[in-house]
A and B are shown apart, each in its own frame.
Chain A
Amino acid sequence: MFDLLKGPVYAVQEFFFLQSAAFLNIFRSPHYSDDIALQMDAIGVGSLPITVMIGFFSGAVMALQMSRALANYGQVNQTGTIVSITLVRELGPVLTAVMVAGRNASGIASELGSMKVTEQIDAMRALGTDPVQKLVTPRLLATSFMLPLLTVIADFVGMIGGWLIAVLYLNLSSRQYWSTAWQALEWNDVAQGLTKPLVFAVVIALLGCFYGLRAEGGTQGVGRATTQAMVASTVMIFVLDLMITKVFVWGAG
């Protein structure tokens, strides 16, 4: 019984060791700013097209779906409110994070996993570099910086999607849509909408690195690490989403 638990407990312990080392390294030299910039480009700029697409269509579909429900109460003019609240609080952060998890948690895990199984991680340590400092911390910082930015872009493009639907299909005026969308948002929503991607970013980067650095057993091991990183980070995004939402709902009284 205890032997069965040993593996998962060790894994959790290792994950927390990695997490604390990655965070502490932010304040320790050397800082690999080139690597941070490279990762920002790969994670941020690389994920931009897909984020814009997902944001646009989810905003548009949200406007269409909600307008039917709102029509029952004669409140179609409130479409802007619904679209902006759902996007900023939920859909923007979660969908963007899931997309970035699919693209980058798996990408990080496969890159680091390949390095692990070809002894490049060992070579790095042998040649005087801490792999956590050189590989994990730049990915953590880059993802934490880029994911909130991507989320803001997704939110905005989503609102444009909703606006197009509102104007073209729901016969709302642009002014009506944008003013309700703007007025609906409170500081609480914005704070929630920015806290979530920050937390999700930490999860995506660290789980990607964690599974990559644990990869064993050649190419098969790399494949396994990639899948595990993506699945684990996606599940954690939804679990943490509920927890953060609960905190904010409770905070808003």
Chain B
Amino acid sequence: MPEPAKIPVLRFEGVTVSFDGVPALLNVSFQAFEGESRAILGAAGSGKTVLLKAALGLVKPDSGRIYAFGQELTAMREKQLFAMRARIGMLFQESALFDSLTIAENVAYPLLNQKTVKCPKSEVQPRVAQALEFVELGGTLGRFPSELSGGMRRRAAIARAVVTAPPLILYDSPTAGLDPITAHTIMALLIKERDLAKTTTLMVTYRYQDGNLMANFRYNSELGRLELARHGGRQDTSTTFMVLQEGRLIFEGGQDLLEASQDPYISRFVKKRG
């Protein structure tokens, strides 16, 4: 358990966001500490994406406060937010790669455009190559997003999210619309990034198995693959599950508690382990 004195990396305090009077998030409060993983489950339209966009300051809440790295996002102007966003990586649901740029240019984009990321020109190319190597897309530098498959685009987008080595990464439905094998590859990359770079990870998903992988597997850098972590996950991190229903946070806690829940909405998502 994190010590009480520690400042949370991300904190929501009674956050409500609505569009045209319809609430997308309703009075959501939680905090995520350094090195922690959070899997946020919810059906389509439950407010998962809005939660991540609010955490980046892309969506302004109607009420409530959001803090990232101890600073209040909700009180910042767009210009100040840019500095904050440089410390937060985001994988968008449909990858959101820029169509008009090549994969290498896409991955280089945050290095060249984020003012607080001081990256000398000579280092851009090696860092881009390294990030693409990390997601095993080394040979695609000069290709355009439209020439890649859905899974490859998702991987390129992960490379773009991690290239600046942000301490907090948000993943919006990383496995949505992918076949089971590609989905597993993507999850393996997420866990690899979390375990190698020790990032705080927030992942929203509607697939319970993604959360299960995140909670119970770790990346073995010697073997280069995932392995089952014994005794309930890694020692220095913990995975917390959150469940959103129509904008409300109806569950927050560990996996055992989640699986024990009798709530009909929650049990729709949860497939109990053997």
Contact = CB atoms under 8 A, between A and B. Distances in A.
A128 B113 CA distance: 6
Given A119-B93, A122-B58, A123-B92, A128 B98 contact: no
Nearest to A216: B19
B98 A126 contact: no
A40 B215 CA distance: 52
Interface string B111-127: 00111110000000000
Interface of B: 53, 56, 58, 78, 82, 85-86, 88, 90, 92-94, 96-99, 109-110, 113-117, 160
Contact of B115 (A119, A122, A128): A128
Nearest to A127: B110
A114 B116 CA distance: 29
Contacts of B53: 122
Given A119-B93, A123-B92, A128-B114, 20 more contacts: A118-B96, A119-B92, A119-B94, A120-B98, A120-B99, A122-B92, A122-B96, A123-B97, A123-B98, A124-B98, A125-B58, A126-B92, A127-B85, A127-B109, A127-B110, A127-B114, A128-B116, A129-B113, A130-B78, A130-B82
B141 to A, nearest CB: 18
Given A120-B99, A122-B58, A128 B86 contact: yes
Nearest to A126: B90
A126 B110 CA distance: 9
Contact of A128 (B58, B82, B96, B97): B82
30 contacts: A114-B99, A115-B98, A118-B94, A119-B93, A119-B94, A119-B96, A120-B98, A120-B99, A122-B53, A122-B58, A122-B96, A123-B97, A123-B98, A125-B56, A125-B78, A126-B56, A126-B58, A127-B85, A127-B109, A127-B113, A127-B114, A128-B82, A128-B85, A128-B86, A128-B110, A128-B113, A128-B117, A129-B113, A130-B78, A130-B82
Nearest to A114: B99
Interface in A95-145: 114-115, 118-120, 122-130
